[in-house]
Structure 1
Amino acid sequence: MTDSNHDAVRRENLMRARANADRSVAPPVSYPFRGRWTRRHWAHASVLTTMGVLLAAIVPGFSSLLDHPIGHVGAQRMTLALNLPKLDKRAGRAGDDHWQTVTLKPGQTLSGVFEELGIPYDQLALVMQHPKIKPTLRKLRPGTELSFNLPADGSVRAMRLEPGPGIGDTPIELEFNGEALREHAVPVEVTTRTVVLTGEVGKSLFASARKLGLGSAQLNQLTDEMFKYDIDFDSDLSEHDRFSVVVDQTWKNGQLVNTGPVLAATFTVDGKLKSAFRYMRDGKPEYFTADGRSLRRPFIRMPIPYARLTSGFGGRQHPVLGRFRMHKGVDYAAGTGTPIQAAGDARVAFVGRQGGYGNVVILDHGGGKTTLYGHMSRFAKIRPGQRVAQGTVIGYVGSTGLATGPHLHYEFRVNGVHMNPLKMTLPPPAPLSGESLVAFKSQTRRALDKIREVEDVVFQLDDERVASAPAQPAPAHKKG
């Protein structure tokens, strides 16, 4: 093809390309608004609105981010005060003490404890051969607590024998140092506090008292010594009656180890205050009312607390012999083995067996007064001539002699004449007087003020909680 032909073809192609380009750039198509939006209008509006919302949310975020240097993003902080545990002064290196406590079980040995904890035998041998520790190790009993300082490296740093059976009152700590063993006593912080414990009787006085930390000794003092003649604990008390006691508590290293006898106590029964206070007279503890009258009685009417009277004093048909004869005492039914108490301070006059009485104890209270306790199953550890205090257990209920079942036959005699124990009215001990009364009332006043102070706080808080509690809707009554 000649050059002229090439030029003609190129010019023709260029003209065609220009014509095609002019046709491809078509004028925009307009859609005139005719009074309502079409689907296309709604689609465009939705896209534009979404883009606007995204920009409004993103731009301020970038703006605030750029206001801070890179290393200070989110520089605002909240500081919390945490109550961290106190560091153990026994610790060797900080963070490297791991104490574990083991309580010895029946049949468990020290070597078994070492093996269980993975402590090497040579360190057990050090303990076993220590001259001062050997006697203590022989006294180890079930319930003894052993504590071990076991660092993370698998060794044993120290061993402690906590107070317990055969250990004494002071912990013993053994510190391992290579092949040596060093012993030192762990300091014990002992404090005694006089406290007021107060609460409501609730459904059970015994359960409520135990929740406050009172034991059986303190409960017996309340019911058998202090308020025995003023309160019927089976029927007088209601759930909302209040009681308070003052006791001395002994604490060792922050743990309660002993609660002493009740020093003072009050019961508020049906709004009436009843109080009793402990005071030493002639070297012996005794309980008194607020005005110094003794709460102690010369004789206990019922040598078995809360027993059931089954036969009174006087003539009756004998249940075994079947004939009418004088019943010279009173009978209290109780289960075999129930403890029997001495009715008053006395000297033991007789312990043994007497005909129809079976196993019997006779006590001489002086002034011609004696008491007899029959049908016992066995005697307590008493002997003739021995002095016993009121309330001392002298024997146990049984059915020896002429008896149809287990019970106590109780007699009261004055100069050999049988008297009805339930109708005996003997004068109470003399009240406090003079300097003793002044000192007693001073103690009483302080105790009552403290009891009122604690009760005001405790029961005011309880009343506020009840008042602030949301009212509960009354239960709907079902129609029968």
Structure 2
Amino acid sequence: MVAMGKSGLGAQRRERLKALREAALHRPVLARHLSDGFNGRWSRRQWAQASLVATLGMLVAAIVPGFSPTQPAHAPTPHLSMALPLPSLPLAGVHGQAGDSWQVVRVERGQTLASLFKQFDLSPATLHEVLQQPGAREALTRLRPGSELAFDLPVGQDGKGGQLRGLRFDRDETHRVELSFDGDRIRQKVIERPTETRTVVISGKVGRSLFHSARKLGLSAGAINTLTDDIFKYDIDFNDDVAASDRFSVVVEQTWREGELIKTGPVLAATFTTGKKLHTGFRFVRNGKAEYFTGDGRPLKKSFIRMPIPYARLTSGFGARHHPVLGRMRMHKGVDYAARVGTPIMAAGDARVVSAGWMGGYGNAVVLDHGRGYTTLYGHMSRIGKIKRGQRIAQGTVIGYVGTTGMSTGPHLHYEFRVNGVHRNPLSITMPPAEPLSGPTLAQFRQQTAVALMRIQKVENIIYADAGAPPKPVATATDSRKDPRKG
């Protein structure tokens, strides 16, 4: 039985080994080797192939996150809490006293004092009381965008529905008014706010945009328009003649209050360098009127502008022509500019209005006297501007609007230019030069402009001293290179 038992065990072991061998033969990598006869030891070739399979398995596990072993979860970061005492409320806030809740408002375009009172749910009766205070109506009924007002309202009202306890506003540049409401009484306190006026030189390069560069330096939009439209309009084409490397310098007066720039005065002097050419302009008051002159006292503004209507098309020149209405040859004593009805018409030069009204075939027309024997006529207007006979007007003033009144076949401006009563062709005549400064006036002008020019030269010598490096735009005071806001 023992022999048979051992024989039975041996048969079972042989069956088990056979089953394991058959299973191993079905494995994709080792089947071929075992089928060749596995003797208990792998050959060198078998070891190399097994190593390759193991290496590929590790690469797949590293690249594909799903095959990587499960990473341990991060331990939660401990959060610490620390109790801090809150600052105590001021007594004004606890008891609801005046001055604890000032609501500061900067006026936007279109806003009025009435709309602000409505915004804070304040009664019209309170508004009426405020406007009755001395100087309040003049300051508060002409609010400009950017003006600042402050309302003192109770805590807990969220700025609405409470009793107005105080109001602050600026009466002018140097005085602030504070109104305090105590029952039926209103107390007024005027606080003086001193200002400082500084003459500064702002200098820089045109860069990609004259307007952008000048505004970045702090020059106001009005001062930039003065440069382009009043001072250098006749000598520089700002669309085609200006390069990024060209530079400008401007002398202006700035008014500062408590470290804030509140106003920039008119341009006192300016230089503009285009290429190697220097253009200059200086402000000077002649006969009570501010004008701009070159360094030698010649006015920068021309006596007349060639076209009294912008962007118009010339449809009929000066001379004999076949009249479109009368149907016969007739002398055309002016030139015609076609434009849409309502296009503004400007005065060609400084003048006195001789007449403004209906003139027969000219329809609605205006005649201007420019002095020294020069007169101009503007006809066929749809309507006349806000001018009247005998009025003095400046060059560029709108005197009327394009129309087709009188003997006209379509909307256009009929423009005549006369010298001592004789009609001349406005397109070809040599315009008279503007009257230069002379005598004591010229001496005064030179004395005044020498100081401004010296300031500009001093600043430019500092800024543009290194010709090899592109200068950086800076704004500097005349006596130092510090920002005016820093004193």
| TM-score (ref. length: structure 1) | 0.62
SS of the aligned residue for 1:185 comes to strand
* Cα contact 1:287–1:294 (8 A) shared by 2: yes
- Greater shift in the superposed pair: 339-348 or 428-437: 428-437
Q: In the TM superposition, what is the alpha-carbon distance from 1:258 to its structure 2 partner?
A: 3.4
SS of the aligned residue for 1:291 comes to coil
Task: Go from structure 1 to structure 2 and tell me whether the alpha carbon gap of 1:453 and 1:159 turns closer, same or farther (over 3 Å shift).
Answer: farther
SS of the aligned residue for 1:186 comes to strand
* Cα contact 1:339–1:393 (8 A) shared by 2: yes
| Residue matched to 1:36 | none
Q: In the TM superposition, what is the alpha-carbon distance from 1:371 to its structure 2 partner?
A: 0.6
Please list, as runs of the form range in 1=range in 2, the aligned pairs for 1:279-318 lying within 5 A after superposition: 279-305=284-310, 307=312, 309-316=314-321, 318=323
SS of the aligned residue for 1:439 comes to helix
| Residue matched to 2:151 | 148
| Residue matched to 2:359 | 354
* Cα contact 1:157–1:177 (8 A) shared by 2: no
Q: In the TM superposition, what is the alpha-carbon distance from 1:421 to its structure 2 partner?
A: 1.5
Aligned partners of 2:340, 2:205: CA distance in 1, in Å? 32
Match for 1:159 among 155, 166, 176? 166
Aligned partners of 2:113, 2:397: CA distance in 1, in Å? 37
Aligned partners of 2:430, 2:410: CA distance in 1, in Å? 30
Unaligned residue ranges in structure 1 (runs of 5+): 1-95, 467-480
Aligned partners of 1:320, 1:258: CA distance in 2, in Å? 56
Work out whether 1:112 is the aligned partner of 2:125: no
Q: Deviations over 1:107-150 (max 9, x none)?
A: 9556534438xxxx8xx977865795398469646767430345
SS of the aligned residue for 1:449 comes to helix
Q: Deviations over 1:87-119 (max 9, x none)?
A: xxxxxxxxx855321356469556534438xxx
Q: Deviations over 1:346-394 (max 9, x none)?
A: 3222211234433210112344432101222221121222233333322
| Residue matched to 1:6 | none
Unaligned residue ranges in structure 2 (runs of 5+): 1-98, 474-487
Work out whether 1:99 is the aligned partner of 2:105: no
Aligned partners of 2:404, 2:222: CA distance in 1, in Å? 29
Task: Go from structure 1 to structure 2 and tell me whether the alpha carbon gap of 1:357 and 1:257 turns closer, same or farther (over 3 Å shift).
Answer: farther
What is the percent sequence identity of the aligned residues? 55
Equivalent AA in structure 2 for residue 99 of structure 1:
W
* Cα contact 2:117–2:127 (8 A) shared by 1: no
| Residue matched to 1:133 | 133
* Cα contact 1:332–1:408 (8 A) shared by 2: yes
| Residue matched to 1:42 | none
Aligned partners of 1:147, 1:341: CA distance in 2, in Å? 44
Match for 1:445 among 447, 450, 457? 450
Please list, as runs of the form range in 1=range in 2, the aligned pairs for 1:209-288 lying within 5 A after superposition: 209-212=214-217, 217-288=222-293
Aligned partners of 1:266, 1:294: CA distance in 2, in Å? 15
Aligned partners of 1:272, 1:459: CA distance in 2, in Å? 16
* Cα contact 1:307–1:333 (8 A) shared by 2: yes
Q: In the TM superposition, what is the alpha-carbon distance from 1:184 to its structure 2 partner?
A: 0.3
Work out whether 1:424 is the aligned partner of 2:429: yes
Q: In the TM superposition, what is the alpha-carbon distance from 1:250 to its structure 2 partner?
A: 3.1
| Residue matched to 2:7 | none
Q: In the TM superposition, what is the alpha-carbon distance from 1:440 to its structure 2 partner?
A: 2.2
Aligned partners of 1:220, 1:190: CA distance in 2, in Å? 26
Aligned partners of 1:228, 1:413: CA distance in 2, in Å? 25
Aligned partners of 2:417, 2:340: CA distance in 1, in Å? 22
* Cα contact 1:374–1:408 (8 A) shared by 2: yes
SS of the aligned residue for 1:436 comes to helix
| Residue matched to 2:405 | 400
| Residue matched to 1:463 | 470
Q: In the TM superposition, what is the alpha-carbon distance from 1:202 to its structure 2 partner?
A: 4.4
Q: In the TM superposition, what is the alpha-carbon distance from 1:193 to its structure 2 partner?
A: 2.4
Q: In the TM superposition, what is the alpha-carbon distance from 1:395 to its structure 2 partner?
A: 1.7
Work out whether 1:373 is the aligned partner of 2:378: yes
Task: Go from structure 1 to structure 2 and tell me whether the alpha carbon gap of 1:228 and 1:168 turns closer, same or farther (over 3 Å shift).
Answer: closer
Task: Go from structure 1 to structure 2 and tell me whether the alpha carbon gap of 1:340 and 1:197 turns closer, same or farther (over 3 Å shift).
Answer: farther
* Cα contact 1:146–1:159 (8 A) shared by 2: no
* Cα contact 1:126–1:179 (8 A) shared by 2: no
Aligned partners of 2:405, 2:220: CA distance in 1, in Å? 34
| Residue matched to 2:189 | 184
* Cα contact 2:112–2:141 (8 A) shared by 1: no
Task: Go from structure 1 to structure 2 and tell me whether the alpha carbon gap of 1:249 and 1:456 turns closer, same or farther (over 3 Å shift).
Answer: same
* Cα contact 2:173–2:193 (8 A) shared by 1: no
Q: Deviations over 1:435-472 (max 9, x none)?
A: 43333223323222322344455567982679xxxxxx
| TM-score (ref. length: structure 2) | 0.62
Q: C-alpha root-mean-square deviation of aligned residues, in Å?
A: 4.2
Q: In the TM superposition, what is the alpha-carbon distance from 1:173 to its structure 2 partner?
A: 0.7
Q: Deviations over 1:258-304 (max 9, x none)?
A: 33322211111122101111112333322221122232433332323
- Greater shift in the superposed pair: 384-393 or 309-318: 309-318
| Residue matched to 1:364 | 369
